[in-house]
Amino acid sequence: MRSETRWDVITFGETMLRLSPPHYMRLEEATSLEVRIGGAESNVAVALCRLGLRACWWSRLPNTPLGRRIENELRRWGVDTSAVIWDSDPKARTGLYFLDFGVAPRATEVYYDRAASAASAIGPEDVDAQRIAEARLLHVTGITPALSARCAAAVRYAIEAAKRAGTRVCFDTNYRARLWSPEAARTTLEPLLPYVDLLIAPHEEARLLFALTEEKERMARALHDRYGIETVVVTCGGDGAYAFSPSGEHFAAPYPIAYVVDRVGAGDAFDAGVIYGYLQQNISLGLEMGMAMAALKHTLPGDLLLCTFEEIEAVRTAHHQTSPSSIRR
Ligand SMILES: Nc1ncnc2c1ncn2[C@@H]1O[C@H](COP(=O)(O)OP(=O)(O)O)[C@@H](O)[C@H]1O
Ligand SMILES: O=C(O)C(=O)C[C@H](O)[C@H](O)COP(=O)(O)O
């Protein structure tokens, strides 16, 4: 990989305000909502910064208090936001998502209010190919192409720009059933896959989107074989994750989670760990980092993995077992 780069990872997509009732209240009854921010790509960027990597995230944001809240917060956690495009149209909208937290047997429900947001107007002309050339890796996800045809074209343009520049491409399928159908996702995403160097896909999404029937142990290899992707990581929730890569096949088991505080963002935290290892050409380390980071994300409220490198390493290397009651003083 090239040595002279400005960022380790560049990424773009929509980041929303995330609104959730306190104490497992229902949205129907809540009298107050907690305001946080969340977006798959910026969640990854924040987690990468916690690992000491240089991450640049950009999007279109309304130049309003709501848009500025998102940019300020990402900058606060170390993300380079200098390429954000500010939309000065007074009607420009910030995407919102509402979270109704559930515990089994009641599922956590996400309700989007993001149609016609400023980010959904991102088009190929907003993609700065020079910036992509200045990064080691471009990270994009299947959420952005689901937002609009212009967003889908922007993702394709960005991936092609990365290929021309020798910037590696990481893609997470991140299928969102509330945004589009599996058939629409397949039609749009499949042509992108031959350009991808590192694919991350949950096992059930690989089955749903690409009509592959392989069991979890075989799915990464099946995706590699069908689309020619160099490195493929398949996640299986509480059953761990598998990788197929030039260094061989790898598996990482999950770390035990004593109590789930908030699982939203665990997949994005996992992605950051995988990218960390991938950039060191050590996908086995990436799987372990991803697993440790996903486990830690389950213990934190909000989409963002606000952990230290040392906390992640402690989980990864299991130097200590933290019992549900442990207090470190
Ligand atoms: N019950 C669990 N116990 C331990 N780890 C888990 C559990 N559920 C998910 N994870 C971790 O979080 C990561 C992301 O979760 P997963 O559900 O597979 O993907 P996504 O959130 O992208 O749909 C997984 O790779 C896994 O490591
Ligand atoms: O933009 C969207 O549609 C999103 O869903 C943003 C989400 O908050 C994260 O992407 C969390 O996703 P996980 O890490 O899989 O829990």
CB atoms within 10 A of CB 52: 10
Which protein residue's CA is at the shortest distance from atom 6 of ligand 1?
Answer: 238
- Pick the catalytic residue from 80, 172, 268, 303: 268
Digit-by-digit pLDDT tens for the chain (329 residues) are 565 899 999 999 999 999 999 999 999 999 999 999 999 999 999 999 999 999 999 999 999 999 999 999 999 999 999 999 999 999 999 999 999 999 889 999 999 999 999 999 999 999 999 999 999 999 999 999 999 999 999 999 999 999 999 999 999 999 999 999 999 999 999 999 999 999 999 999 999 999 999 999 999 999 999 999 999 999 999 999 999 999 999 999 999 999 999 999 999 999 999 999 999 999 999 999 999 999 999 999 999 999 999 999 999 998 555 665 566 67
In a domain, 327, yes or no: no
The finding on whether 237 has its CB within 6 A of some atom of ligand 2 is: no
> Residue 142 maps to which CATH number?
3.40.1190.20
In a domain, 1, yes or no: no
What's the 272 CA to ligand 1 centre distance in angstroms? 13
Provide the pLDDT for residue 4.
85
Provide the pLDDT for residue 2.
65
Provide the pLDDT for residue 325.
55
In a domain, 325, yes or no: no
Cis peptide, bond prior to residue 105, ω within 30 of zero: yes
Provide the pLDDT for residue 319.
55
Tokens 């142990």 belong to residue: 217
* Cα separation, 274 vs 283, whole angstroms: 7
Q: Mind giving me the DSSP string for 241-287? A: EEEEETTEEEEEPPPP-SS-S--TTHHHHHHHHHHHHHHTT-HHHHH
pTM exceeds 0.90, yes or no: yes
In a domain, 35, yes or no: yes
In a domain, 329, yes or no: no
- Its domain, for residue 204, covers 7-320
In a domain, 309, yes or no: yes
* Cα separation, 81 vs 58, whole angstroms: 6
Tokens 């305000």 belong to residue: 17
Index of the ligand 2 atom closest to the CA of residue 112: 3
Provide the pLDDT for residue 195.
97
Total number of domains constituting the chain: 1
In a domain, 78, yes or no: yes
Q: Is 268 a catalytic residue?
A: yes
